[in-house]
Amino acid sequence: MSDIRPIKDDRRPKVYIETYGCQMNVNDSEVILSILQDSGYALTEDIEEASVILANTCSIRDNAEQRIWGRIEQFRLQKNRRENVIIGIVGCMAERLKDKLLDSRTVDIVAGPDSYRSLPELIRNVTPETPQMNVLLSQEETYADITPVRMDKNGVSAYITIMRGCNNVCSYCVVPYTRGTERSRDPETIVREAAELFDNGYREVSLLGQNVDSYLWKDPVTADRNVNFAQLLEMVARISPELRVRFSTSHPKDISDEVIYTMAMYDNICRHIHLPVQSGSNAMLEKMRRKYTAEWYLGRVRKIRSVMPDCGLTTDIIAGFCGETEQDHRDTLALMEEAAFDAAFMFQYSERPGTLAARKYPDDVPPEVKTARLNEIIALQNRLSRESNEKDLGKTFKVLIEGVSKRNSDELFGRTSSNKVCVFPAAGHNIGDYVTVEAVSCTSATLIAKLIQ
């Protein structure tokens, strides 16, 4: 069995890994570390002692890429001081920009999300004159047999990638180009990984995919034994009632009643759905190729709330997509009010080269209008989040303790099943314990609670 924690060994050459982007990238970095540990490397948190420096990158918006270009400039300084250090850019930006990254002459390795198994070889073959690149996308790669080496500090909560790639072509989105076509991972390997995490003290797993509702495993031998997402959720939930199960991301067009009812059947499947709406305007949704309407979306919200009234609901919103009018923007605000989201990730539209939107629609909402609309969306969400938290005052929650509060070392924090962050007095409890708390006050971001047991 492979190690699930970083190996400590001073004799090994060191790799330093920086991670940008989504939860999937966090988990991919753990896969990368597993592969590199097997080939003799050890992780370091000190960039100065690393012989290999990797940045696992994100392309989702232009500012994510600009940050990496800035970072590459800083890596150049490392290189000026230490001739033999190897700089690798991996992940979505590697896949999107390919050899353009090598033109900087700072980068030695470019490796896309499906080529991590080749990293040891790429590192072996690098010389100052021969940078190495592997950006092949795969129809099959799921890294199913690789045990990620967990880099988190607490040992409580872990990510498990259940599928890779994406078959939706939302017109604004770069992910299908950087991560390729959708493929689902063998459910047995998922359940085994979750059980092993539980045996190692972890108490929460988050199942990850760009569109988890389209997870479908077809048994390669007996094609009649398919496993869909609802069935997978149930298989993981049955490992132990003490293991919390979360998942992300659901797509509004695909989230099924079967998933909603499966959640309701198991207390340890957390009452939280991240359901990105993107816009409340049907004209925008159509242009975004989201394949649902605002009415359909609100119908799904009603279904979720009727089956699980206590279910947390969060979303993603894009402000200022191509051709967005003031009325389209008002439709988004109205939908937010009606859905009463508990929290949201909110962005200005950023045109991504090569996407359908970049080819078909001018990015014509002026930057200052995008900013003003985004600010309005953020202000509204702050109010909705505060109202949602205020409704929880006086209620009791089971919280899984994840860490010590940053503000006060006598306090701990954790999350409710509905994914709200709770802060409460430590009173001798430990990270990884479950406690029951009562919410006594709140901000828009946090519930402040007292211990009940």
The residue ranges that bind ligand SAH (CB under 6 A) are 60-61, 172-173, 175, 210-211, 249, 251, 276, 278, 316, 318, 347, 349-350, 352
Which residue in 78, 138, 154, 168 binds ligand SF4 (CB under 6 A)? 168
Angstrom CA distances, 294 to 212, 291, 370, 385, stand at 21, 10, 21, 21
Say if residue 77 is exposed, middle or buried (CB neighbours under 10 Å; 0-12, 13-18, 19+).
exposed
Q: Which does 350 bind (CB under 5 to 8 A by kind): ligand SAH, ligand SF4, ligand F3S, none?
A: ligand SAH
Residues 185-244 that bind ligand SF4 (CB under 6 A): 210-211
Q: Which stretch binds ligand SF4 (CB under 6 A): 85-93, 162-170, 373-381, 389-397?
A: 162-170
Contact 246, 205 (CB under 8 A): yes
* 131: region left, alpha or beta (phi > 0 left; psi from -120 to 50 alpha): beta
Angstrom CA distances, 69 to 57, 74, 125, 413, stand at 10, 9, 24, 35
Contact 219, 256 (CB under 8 A): no
Write out the two tokens for 284: 């925008």
Q: Which does 21 bind (CB under 5 to 8 A by kind): ligand SAH, ligand F3S, ligand SF4, none?
A: ligand F3S
Q: Which does 273 bind (CB under 5 to 8 A by kind): ligand F3S, ligand SAH, ligand SF4, none?
A: none
Grouping H, G, I as helix, E, B as strand and the rest as coil, residue 38 is: helix
d(CA 269, CA 354): 38
Q: Which is nearer to ligand SAH, 86 or 174 (CB)?
A: 174
Which residue in 4, 17, 86, 92 binds ligand F3S (CB under 6 A)? 92
Which residue in 27, 37, 44, 59 binds ligand F3S (CB under 6 A)? 59
* Interface with ligand F3S, residue 248, by CB under 6 A: no
Task: Give buried/exposed letters for 194-225 (b at 16+ CB in 10 A, else e).
Answer: bbbbbeeebbbbbbbbbbbbbbebeeeeeeee
Q: Which does 118 bind (CB under 5 to 8 A by kind): ligand F3S, ligand SF4, ligand SAH, none?
A: none
d(CA 25, CA 168): 19
Which residue in 89, 97, 175, 437 binds ligand SF4 (CB under 6 A)? 175
Which residue in 53, 58, 86, 384 binds ligand F3S (CB under 6 A)? 58
* Interface with ligand F3S, residue 357, by CB under 6 A: no
| Nearest one of 69, 65, 117 to 96, comparing CA atoms | 65
* Interface with ligand SF4, residue 384, by CB under 6 A: no
* Interface with ligand SF4, residue 132, by CB under 6 A: no
What is the contact surface with ligand SF4 in residues (CB under 6 A)?
A: 166, 168-170, 173, 175-176, 210-211, 251
